[in-house]
Chain A
Amino acid sequence: MSTTSGVERLYTKGRARKILVILSAFIALLTTVVVSVSLGSASPGFMEATQVILSRIFPFAGIDPGSKIAQTIILDLRLPRIVLAIIAGAGLAASGAAMQGVLRNPLVSPYILGISSAAGFGAALAIALGIGVVVQYEGYIVVANAFIFSMLAMLMVYGIARLRGIAPESVILAGVAVGYLFSAMLSLVQYIAPEWAAVHAVVFWLLGGLSTAKWENILIVLPLVLVAIPLLMRHSWDMNVMSSGEEVAMSLGVNPRRVVVICMVLGSLVTASIISFTGVIGFIGLISPHLARMIIGSDHRFLLPCCTVIGACLLLASDTVARTVMPPVEFPVGIITSLLGVPFFIYILLSRRRQSWG
């Protein structure tokens, strides 16, 4: 009797602590948002930003909406970028965590599984062979192509893995192979494409960036991410069970193959839709799940939400640094993500004794 309640108490305590961790991560994200909206190459700072945003939220409160330029900078430039950073960070991190979870492998990320290379290839193809030979082109064809090819990569990975029987290692091997295939084809396009297209493909698609953020694009990505992340979270218990092995999962009524397929499809869908607009941002999807796991443990019910918030926070912080470190010049966000993420990762790795895997 007393032992049961002891275990229960321990469980409740652990649960409360984990919820607290997620809450603090969320508060960190909110703080980053406030900092990010107040910083930039242009002059509007915290006060103007607050003023502009409050006047928009409470249109009848009679708050002075600020100058037209301040409004444009806050509402059309900083906010969409912040929102896209949050969506992209959250989506990539959640996909990474789910993929690592179902495939039971810490090295998995959408990048490893070839989805990013495929998107890059699709984009490069559209840029190089796109309608009219122009440097600045209608972006949506490129986006659509990136999306189609990443879905194609996912189908290939799935097809190959299915022929071998969907075991985690066959999915990863198929992913790595498909990834190399698309990387090779991307290099080929870069090699045979006209100089300007190659430059564009390399610089934008391979470095990735959020500077082209627009509300219109967000309206396309946001619904997908908003639907997919809760769907992934619904399978967090299955992921927990699967970590004990396939037999255990089956004996507990979980069909591991079905879970693998669902999570892989959702993860690819989210990744593809995000990187279609941002270019390849690789690191977030790999590192956020590890950070979350080291902080909160490997119970996917807490890991997934925590990882989502950490991913959003990390990408937003990186992008804010990227656009403010040397104003008015912008840095590629990929550089900053690694420069910020890796030391943080090493710190967490060294300061936690807990074994995250196994």
Chain B
Amino acid sequence: MKKTTAVVSVIIIVLVIVALAYTTYRFYVPSETGPQKETVTIVDATGVNVEVKVPVERIVCLSNGLTEIICVLGGEDRIVGRDSTSRFPPSILEEPVVGKSSRNADLELMLELEPDLVFSDLMMPSELREKIENAGVPVIVENANDPERVKIFIQNMGLVIGGEEKAGEIIDYIESYENVVRERVGSLTLNEKPLVYFEWGVGWSCGAGTVLHENIVDAGGINIATEETIPYPILSPEYVVENNPDIILVSISGATGELVAFQNAKDEILSRSGFSEVKAVKEGRVYIYDSQVGLGVRYIVGLLYKAKCFHPSLFEDIDPTAIHEQLVQEFFGIELEGVFMYP
């Protein structure tokens, strides 16, 4: 009896060992014998040389603008985690959220998804970046607000996730409209350009040297905060009133495409003390846009919208909303829903 028990025990132990060895073998072997990955080096927006083994299969993306670009290049099915601001295209909402934004993304949630690569915007704290990299996952930090960086990122992504041809197509598309704007506003004299007061967030404007400022200049406007050295100054209301801008341009974020969000933003501007005397208010030239069309691939839509607001007669033939719809249909393959610019 005792002997039988001993034999059965030995057999069970042997079986367990064999099973363990087999499992280990099964999980271990593929990575050993799998195709050798090629390494590409990407210089990101922070100037860091990031070595990435391609092709990348599992991506965590912590920036809405970058998420859009990855999706346009056909990489949506490789995104396995996102931040809460990555909400476009809508199908991305199915992926798990690993943090509110790159500022406070959860390290454990991210690593649990076993990503090959993490994308982030400039808000990511350097300690967090270090921790992710120490876990063996490369991090690419990119600025989707800067049109020049967007183009570089699209090219880099062509290398990282494939689709270099598509990358070229998108860059051509963006540049063709950039050229349209440049040609039409390029020859304007200072007198022909409207004075613009820009506002976002809690009332920040944008000083010289910021991408937002460059955007206004590119669209043929003169920013009343051009002289400011603080990147995002809060301008004194009386300064705004005295400068009497022709245009008030407001970027809102967090809107979900409902018209009421834009109407409220506009009403708030109109109801400000003293603003009824401002030219932009008197002439009904207060414009609200969703910050989504100011970054990533769709930055071009925002640029066209601004140019049309500033110079309606020069851009009579351009309908930013129609171009937005076309862009989304062509590159994302979906129908655009909701409001992004008002009026």
Which residues of A are at the interface with B, using a C-beta cutoff of 8 A? 40-43, 68-69, 72-73, 76-78, 80, 132-139, 191, 194-197, 199-200, 203-204, 211-215, 323, 327-330
Contacts and interface: CB of A to CB of B under 8 A. Distances in A.
A212 B230 CA distance: 21
Interface stretch (B134-142, B153-161, B236-244): B236-244
Contacts of B100: 191, 194-195
Contacts of A327: 236, 239
Contact of B274 (A41, A77, A199, A328): A77
Most chain-A Cβ atoms within 10 A of its Cβ — which of B234, B237, B271? B237
B210 interface: no
Nearest to A130: B264
A41 B238 contact: yes
Contacts of A191: 100
B239 A200 contact: no
Contacts of A137: 264, 268
Most chain-B Cβ atoms within 10 A of its Cβ — which of A138, A211, A323, A328? A328
Nearest to A73: B238
Contacts of B271: 214
B236 A328 contact: yes
Given A73-B274, A329-B228, A196 B238 contact: no
B163 to A, nearest CB: 30
Interface stretch (B38-46, B47-55, B184-192, B247-255): B247-255
A210 to B, nearest CB: 11
Nearest to A214: B273
Contacts of B273: 76-77, 80, 213-215
A76 B281 CA distance: 15
B236 A196 contact: no
A323 B236 contact: yes
B171 interface: no
Most chain-A Cβ atoms within 10 A of its Cβ — which of B250, B252, B260, B264? B264
Interface residues of B, number: 39
B242 A135 contact: no
Given A133-B255, A135-B252, A199-B201, A77 B238 contact: yes
Nearest to A324: B236
B120 interface: no
B235 A329 contact: yes
Contacts of B254: 133-135, 194-197
Q: Closest 5 CB pairs between A and B?
A: A328-B239, A76-B274, A42-B242, A41-B239, A134-B261
Contacts of A212: 272
Contacts of A42: 236, 238-239, 241-242
B255 A134 contact: yes
B258 interface: yes
A138 B265 CA distance: 8
A200 B201 contact: yes
A185 to B, nearest CB: 18
Nearest to A205: B202
B32 to A, nearest CB: 43
Contacts of B241: 42, 69, 72-73, 77
A204 B204 CA distance: 12
Given A69-B241, A77-B274, A195-B85, A134 B236 contact: no
